[in-house]
Structure 1
Amino acid sequence: MTVARSILLFVIAALAEIGGAWLVWQGWREHRGLLWVAAGVIALGLYGFVATFQPDPNFGRILAAYGGIFVAGSLAWGMVVDRFRPDRYDVVGAAICLVGVAVIMYAPRAS
């Protein structure tokens, strides 16, 4: 259950961070206005709290592993929201990142 909870928290964090950055991008770069930027800033702030609920007590480990989630999640976001088509190198790179997440977060460790 701990692994499932951790994965769910990573997904929530990715939605908040990637979604927040996308809202800022839309507000500023696509000229949708300051309300979009403000919503993005709020989402980015929420992202900062999500990691505190991870069961592992090591900040550095959680943020390092989250980096792999961010890479894969960003490509997935682009596919769903912006109709981005990743090439095979994007997919292979994201898969490598997710393997890194699994090793960093879920490898058995001596207590």
Structure 2
Amino acid sequence: MQQIFEGTARLASAASRSLPKALVCVAAACAVLAGCASAGDVTAADKQGTFVVSASATGGRLAWARAHKRAVSEATDYCESRGMQTSLGMEHTEGIEALQQQASVIRFECHPKT
């Protein structure tokens, strides 16, 4: 009976030492699946006063939303840095599968603040 108790105690001790490692691995996997969005530089479009910015994201069903949010944020930052406000135009999206890279390309203009 003593052997069974010692074996169980060693097993419980090993499990308690590996639990923090397992939790770190689970957290890292969740972070990878959540993904981040990255954006390219704002560039001038073919029409004067119109600009284009693109952003992409991977990982999960909400990747398109993260790409869209990042592109809108880049456009807003671009206009605000010039003391203007953003006027969003057309948006083009790419990627439809959940684990595929999702992209958002937004055309926008900067207008004086009212």
Q: Would you tell me which structure has more strand in proportion to its own residues?
A: 2
Higher Rg of the two aligned structures: 2
Q: Given the two structures, how large is their TM-score scaled by the length of structure 1?
A: 0.32
Q: Given the two structures, how large is their TM-score scaled by the length of structure 2?
A: 0.31
